[in-house]
Amino acid sequence: MYRGGFLFYHSNTNNKRMSSETETRKLQTGKIFFIGSGPGNPDLITVKGATILSQAEVIITDRLCGDEIIERYANKNAITIDVGKQGGNKKSYKQEDINKLLVQFAGLYEKVVRLKGGDIAFFSNVYDELQTLHVNNIEYEIIPGITAASGASAYTGVPLTARGFASGVQLLTYYSNTVISEENWRRLAVFEETLVFYMSSNNLISIVEKLLHAGADSNMPFIVVEQATTPNQNVQSFTLQSFYENPAQIFTSPSIVIMGKVAGLHKNFTWFNNEQPSVNFFRSIEEETNYLKIKSFIQQKNTEHVN
């Protein structure tokens, strides 16, 4: 299935073939294509993103890109490497190992895709990877995708900057160790702007408490969108006070939170079936795939063939 698959599993004779091929490829300069795969629905990847995937020799993919995107659009002969991360899971791949992979494959292949969920620019750790490529003088191109906020907004019928409801929108994330000053909480609590929280559903009770403490209207609506744009999308509606009194503990990952006056428009303009059971659309990082695993590549190949 994989070009050069014998690197990891075949005999010494084939390893000699690889050594020769490696020396030839070291003379070539590969290019990394960062592609935003969109919020989950495979129909929502850009035309350019799908085109580059069909030409890729190597695809280094995140878990939340979804396997169907690769099955539908990717070059069937491409090497596909799973570098999935999952919040709180110790089996998630380390960013420094992903950085090493980018450098290694850019020295071996001409067209390497780094496939990321959503859009490249939003909460994607792209800074670390761009820094790595810059330091190693590796060429790259960035192909944007639909970020989760846009996908969730469209598929719930919630216009994030509706006139008369919000003067703008803020894209945020909040972890247990995130430091936001009391002054900033008071500013957010006014809700002049729509607040969209990425990767924050596990800390939602803390967000609600801080907003209420900062003076937010207890009847301010918000929605939690689980697995936005996928067939398993599920939307739950709350007010700050209702959630504070009866906090939901678990939301299916990935979830995105839309807070503000516009969230009350969901019931008026919803068009997509938003009441699917909370069944995982995306696989966990423990599930087996046909993709290569990063650690097997580094341990078996790195010392002999790659500096």
307: Cβ contacts below 8 Å, ≥ 6 apart: none
In the sheet with 221-226, reading across from the earlier edge strand, the strands are 169-173, 194-198, 255-259, 221-226, 234-239
Structure tokens of 243? 């959630």
Catalytic residue among 85, 100, 261, 293: 85
CB 152, CB 228: distance < 8 Å: yes
Instruction: Calculate the CA 29 to chain-centre distance.
Output: 27
Residue 164: CB atoms within 10 A of its CB come to 7
Strand-pair category, 139-143 with 58-61: unpaired
Catalytic residue among 16, 26, 48, 62: 62
Q: What is the largest CA-CA distance in the chain?
A: 71
Amino acid 20 reads S
The reply to whether 128 belongs to the active site is no
The Cα 210–Cα 244 span in angstroms is 11
Structure tokens of 107? 């020295």
Strand-pair category, 234-239 with 221-226: antiparallel
The reply to whether 119 belongs to the active site is no
Structure tokens of 116? 């990321």
Strand-pair category, 292-293 with 79-82: parallel
In the chain, the N- to C-terminal Cα span, in Å, equals 26
Q: List, by residue number, the catalytic residues.
A: 62, 85
